[in-house]
Amino acid sequence: MDQGIRNYFIVTSGYWAFTITDGAIRMLVVLYFHLLGYSPFEVAMLFVFYEFFGIITNLVGGWLGARIGLNLTMHIGMAMQVLALLALTVPESWLSIPYVMAAQALSGIAKDLNKMSAKASVKTLLKQSDNQQLFKWVALLTGSKNTLKGGGFFIGAVLLQYFGFRGALAILAGLLLVVLIITIILLPTGVGKMKSKPKFTQVFSNIAAINWLSAARFFLFGSRDIWFVVGLPVFLYEILDWSLSTVGGFMAIWIIAYGIVQASTPHLLKRSNGGRGPNANSARLWAFILAFFPMGIALALIQNLPPEPVVVIGLILFGFVFAINSAIHSYLILAYSDHDKVAMNVGFYYMANAGGRLIGTIMSGWAYQSQGLEGCLWWSSAFVLIATLLSFGLPDIVEEK
């Protein structure tokens, strides 16, 4: 097997394992603290540091990965996630809001170090200038990650139901530690390391295409998390009276299907772009289409249509189109970057991604508590429309540098 492909699969496997714990810990925290009587806004605030430190991590992480190697930043992220999981296994009396926010901050740093390292590694491991092949590789990595994150949501809910909060966290920490040791042994050093040591000021992109794409990404992912982080699981549990495992199962299926669509996007779009990778027009078109789905769901709920089929079917359709949008963005950031600066560009781009998630997380709790799920969906639609407008700043032709 080609060494680059072998390393790609090792990186992907490590990313998969991490992603399961990331999905599980999110579901554990949302459901457990809701059961303890926390309001939707208070639950949302538990994730503020998770998203805030993700912004800083992506900014610094790309620069750090370019200096010390992407494999090392990936392993640091995995080790920090093990510590974050163990930090929440303390007695219940210790689990104050500041303490949980601090543990979530550690998890947020870990997640974005791991994600940035895995995504940037795809560009460095694929040396040839083949945009369609690059699109396939990044779509496979991103799609499979989200499929497993969905599995993590379900695993988190089931572990909570059968092993309790602390038991679930201990199991997840032990499994991730084993994977960390294996990937340390198998991966070579220096993946993605720049020949020259970049200055920290170079983390801020001076490429217009990357700046426009990052701004669009901010609003795209904010649009999802406005309803997904707090509003949806609380709505399913409180209003539709679903059980914990059913809530976790539905959200898991949603993310799994979302990941499958992401991985399949190169095939879905192949005919529409002459067999090449997507371009800026693709980003504009699919973002515009996406805006109609949360708008339609909100209107249906206002008209007092049966909420269960409206929400379930509507959000499945939203997930399908959102997955295509996400896959297009994930390809474009790599296509706009050259091999030597890919870690720093990806770090800057995912800083914007984390910023969108932070705003979406805060607004999810606030909007649901003050405006209900309909309010979350209206805000979601507005964010997608802003992402569409920002996409008009992207170059029409994407070429591998």
Q: Assess contact for 401 and 71: CB atoms under 8 A.
A: no
Virtual torsion, Cα 212, 219, 336, 11, nearest 10 deg: 160
DSSP annotation of 394:
S
Q: What is the pLDDT of residue 196?
A: 53
Ordered DSSP codes for 185-230: HHSPS-TT--SS---GGGGS---HHHHHHHHHHHHHHHHHHHHHTT
Q: What is the pLDDT of residue 198?
A: 57
pTM to 2 decimal places: 0.71
Q: Choose which CATH entry (1.20.1250.20, 3.30.830.10, 3.40.50.2000, 3.40.640.10) describes domain 3-393.
A: 1.20.1250.20
Q: What is the pLDDT of residue 26?
A: 84
Q: What is the pLDDT of residue 11?
A: 77
Interval 173-198: pLDDT, tens: 999 999 999 988 887 766 555 555 55
Low-confidence ranges of the chain (pLDDT < 50): 398-401
Q: At 110, which helix (H) or strand (E)?
A: helix 97-125
Instruction: Give ∠ CA 194-337-356 in degrees, rounded to 5.
Output: 105
Please list, in sequence order, all residues whose beta carbon lies within 8 angstroms of the beta carbon of residue 122, skipping any fewer than 6 positions away.
8, 134, 137, 138, 141, 334
Could you state, in order of their start, the residue ranges of all structural domains in the chain?
3-393
